[in-house]
Amino acid sequence: MKGFVRAIQDGDKGMVFRNSVYLPFHLELLSVWIGKEMSLLAAPDLLTDFCDGNGQVAVREGERYTNLVFRKCGELRKDLGHDKGHVILHAAEKGSDIFRDENRHYIKVYFTNRHTLDFELVEDPYYL
C-alpha cells in the first residue's frame, strides 16, 4: 500500500459518512485539529486522545484504508463542508520514525461534495 504523501499527490479520494471519515491510506496519527471558519478569533479543537474506549477519535485500519470516527461530532460534512471549517491531521507515514521532523506532515481534509474527501499537504496549519 502506498503512503499518504504519494496518495495525496496522486489525487486519491476519501469518503465521509456522518461522523466517520475513510482515508485511502494508512498513517501514524499524532493529532487532529477540527476548526470552524467562524472568525479570526476562532481556535480549532485539538484532539489527541485516540485511546480505545473513551477517546475522542476512534481509529481503525482496514487492509487498504484508515477509518476515523469522531465520537463527539455530529455530521462532519454539514458542520464543516462548503468552506465552513476544516480537519487537519498531523501524521507520519506508517512505520516511519515519528521523532524526525521530515517524517511528520499536516494533511488538510476538504469536504468536497456529498460523500467525497480531498486532501492537501500543508506546511503550516496556522496559515490556511
pLDDT tens, per residue, the chain with 128 residues? 678 888 999 999 999 998 899 999 999 999 888 876 655 555 666 777 666 766 778 888 999 999 998 877 777 777 676 667 788 899 999 999 999 999 999 999 988 777 889 899 988 776 65
Spatial separation of the C-alpha atoms in residues 51 and 3, rounded to whole Å: 23
pLDDT at 22: 95
Q: What is the value of pTM for the model shown?
A: 0.85
Please classify residue 62 by burial: count the beta carbons closer than 10 Å to its beta carbon, then call 0-12 exposed, 13-18 middle and 19+ buried: exposed
pLDDT at 37: 61
* Residues facing residue 86 across a β-bridge: 35
